[in-house]
Amino acid sequence: MLLEPIQRAKLDETDDTLFYDAPRFVTHVDDGFIQQLTDLYRQRLTPGTRIFDLMSSWVSHLPEEMTFEHVEGHGLNADELAKNRRLDHYFVQNLNQTQLLPLPDQSFDAVVNTVSVQYLQKPEAVFAEVYRLLKPGGIAIFSFSNRMFYQKAIQAWRDGSEAQRVELVKRYFQAIPGFGHVEAIAHPSTLPAFMQLFGMGSGDPFYAVLAQRL
């Protein structure tokens, strides 16, 4: 089994929909992180293609100068998604209750997910959906930092080091036959953890795990 039941547990086990009931018009990571992510999208996404932003909010990290055929959004707060100007269409769905997505097979060239993978309690079912939605040759890009809503992150994430979280997301991909080589990009913090605790950070660490559907 990919994760034991205890590793999927959250400190706050109330319905996620309640936690995301009120919109949060904030950015969850710093400018340095967003710059690295946008640069990665610039390199790996293709203009004119179909993109699915899984677990999205009111901001998009897609490069402003790139135009796409269609950007589909998904999240838990409709007010946040309504404000996201990059989305052509969006829907709200709690992935910890229902993993099957209301989207056709092989309908996207890329699936992106930003600073949200830590909240998935059934990641193997969600990654199977990501695979199903991708066209052959399509790419999935999951990025994350060290910030989180601690009470809503699964135990495996909370208890892991940053390096272990990268390995965990790699395993999520590897659990689904049909994804090719899983690539990880890691730009950890350059200062020791205790200095970051005192606000002496060198910027949010940046991690991305990527794989193509074969």
- Determine if 146 is a binding residue for ligand SAM (CB under 6 A): no
Strands (E), the chain: 50-53, 70-75, 89-92, 108-114, 134-144, 179-187, 206-213
The residue range among 83-91, 93-101, 159-167, 204-212 that interacts with ligand SAM, by the rule CB under 6 A, is: 93-101
76-110 residues labelled b (16+ CB within 10 A) or e (exposed)? bbeebbeebebbeebeebebbeebebeeeeebbbb
- Determine if 56 is a binding residue for ligand SAM (CB under 6 A): yes
Task: Give the torsion through C-alpha atoms of 142, 145, 146, 147, to 10 deg.
Answer: -90
Dmax over CA atoms of the chain, in Å, equals 47
Q: By C-beta, is 39 or 214 nearer to ligand SAM?
A: 39
Rounded CA separation 130/116 (Å) = 14
- Determine if 119 is a binding residue for ligand SAM (CB under 6 A): yes
- Determine if 55 is a binding residue for ligand SAM (CB under 6 A): yes
- Determine if 101 is a binding residue for ligand SAM (CB under 6 A): no
Tell me the closest approach of the beta carbon of residue 56 to ligand SAM, in angstroms: 5
- Determine if 77 is a binding residue for ligand SAM (CB under 6 A): yes
Please say whether the beta carbons of 57 and 25 come within 8 A. no
The residue range among 41-49, 83-91, 92-100, 178-186 that interacts with ligand SAM, by the rule CB under 6 A, is: 92-100
DSSP 146: S
DSSP 61: -
- Determine if 144 is a binding residue for ligand SAM (CB under 6 A): no
Q: Which of 10, 28, 165, 213 binds ligand SAM (CB under 6 A)?
A: 28
Q: Which of 75, 123, 203, 205 binds ligand SAM (CB under 6 A)?
A: 75
Q: Which of 94, 151, 164, 190 binds ligand SAM (CB under 6 A)?
A: 94
Tell me the closest approach of the beta carbon of residue 193 to ligand SAM, in angstroms: 21
How many residues in the shown chain lie near ligand SAM by CB under 6 A?
17
Rounded CA separation 138/129 (Å) = 13
Which residues here bind ligand SAM, judged by CB under 6 A?
16, 20, 28, 55-57, 59, 75-77, 94-96, 114-116, 119
